[in-house]
Amino acid sequence: MQFRTTFQIPESEFKINHQHKILTIGSCFSDEIGKRLIDLKFDGVINPFGVIFNPHSIQNLIERSIHKKYFTLSDVHQNGEEFFCFDVHSSFNALTRDAVLHQLNSALDQVHQCIYSCDVVMITLGTSWVYEWKDSKKIVANCHKVEAKQFEKRLLTTDENLDSLDRIISELIAINPDINIITTVSPVRHIKDGMVENNVSKSRLLDALYQLGIKYNHVNYFPSYELVLDDLREYRFFKEDLIHPSKQAIDYIWKRFSDTYFEESTQTIIQKINKIVSAMNHRPFNESSENHQKFLIKTIDWMEELEKGNKLDFSAEKEHLRSKIKHVN
């Protein structure tokens, strides 16, 4: 008897390796995948503007970055003692306008440089629901705890989503013709909008991305949403909030992502990196023992061997281990 509806993911025509530079932008699911990429020594810029949920706001930030349309004082607002910007996540905040501007434009410079040189951009969409600030009729990426009455909530249409995504892709390809773009819809359920409303929202994102994939050869859709909602399809694969996928679910998605986009040689390197990560997490009974000192030296040797010809950098890890060796009695 069969109790799950598993499905095959079409093999990607392009493969990712450690020579590639990667940019992820979008929902908190981008953070999940991005963090794993960084932990495995991929060269990446991960959600540089913080978590961004809707296509319109992602479009705004990518276009600003491409054209170096720097943020100005007019983009910075105040709520209580904190200054912030409606275009980015709430992690961009400070006690002065100038400090926020520095954060914003530093991130913009980083993304500008990355877009022109990166090999892969991964865009993760969370919702079609947006909030328009009534003062300007402008869609915000984050409300920053400003009173709800100052915003108008509405649902982006499929055409609006498609228009934003189309503009993103066309601009990326124009300046970087060899770029590969991975799109996906976050499996995180935005049920605070309502159960039906969340499904409508996700369906509009899925429809737009489907049309986008037909139009552009550069675009490859990865079905993270479908893996959770149609393949795993059980609440035991969600955290206690029943909204976010559990670690087990993320592990499963990561395995399918790896099988789809990583070369066999890359997966071999990842296995070796995971061995080093396990060694780094090892907690000895006696840090001063001769056996542990030899273990530290051996781990450093592993790192240096893996660095050769693989464009990997274990400098921080080696420095950390050497500091422990230096203090061994």
pLDDT greater at residue 244 or residue 2: 244
Q: Express each pLDDT in 186-244 by its tens digit.
A: 999 999 999 999 999 999 999 999 999 999 999 999 999 999 999 999 999 999 999 99
Q: For residue 94, what is the enclosing H or E element?
A: strand 93-94
Using CA atoms, how far apart are residues 26 and 187, in angstroms rounded to an integer?
13
Using CA atoms, how far apart are residues 123 and 47, in angstroms rounded to an integer?
10
SS3 124: strand
5 pLDDT above the threshold of 90: no
Q: Express each pLDDT in 153-173 by its tens digit.
A: 999 999 999 999 999 999 999
According to DSSP, the β-strands at 43-46 and 77-79 are unpaired
* Domains, in order of start, for the chain: 21-262 (3.40.50.1110), 273-326 (no CATH)
pTM value > 0.85: yes
43-47, 217-221, 245-249, 292-296: lowest mean pLDDT where? Answer: 292-296
CA separation, residue 57 to residues 31, 132, 203, 232, 282 (Å): 17, 11, 18, 30, 42
pLDDT greater at residue 23 or residue 323: 23
Q: Where does the pLDDT of residue 122 fall: very low under 50, low under 70, confident under 90, or very high at 90 and above?
A: very high
Q: Express each pLDDT in 176-199 by its tens digit.
A: 999 999 999 999 999 999 999 999
329 pLDDT above the threshold of 60: no
Q: Where does the pLDDT of residue 328 fall: very low under 50, low under 70, confident under 90, or very high at 90 and above?
A: very low
Using CA atoms, how far apart are residues 103 and 94, in angstroms rounded to an integer?
9
Res 327: pLDDT: 53
| Two tokens, residue 191 | 């049920």
Q: What is the mean pLDDT of the chain?
A: 93
Res 60: pLDDT: 98
Per the listing, tokens 């990326």 go with 172
According to DSSP, the β-strands at 93-94 and 129-133 are unpaired
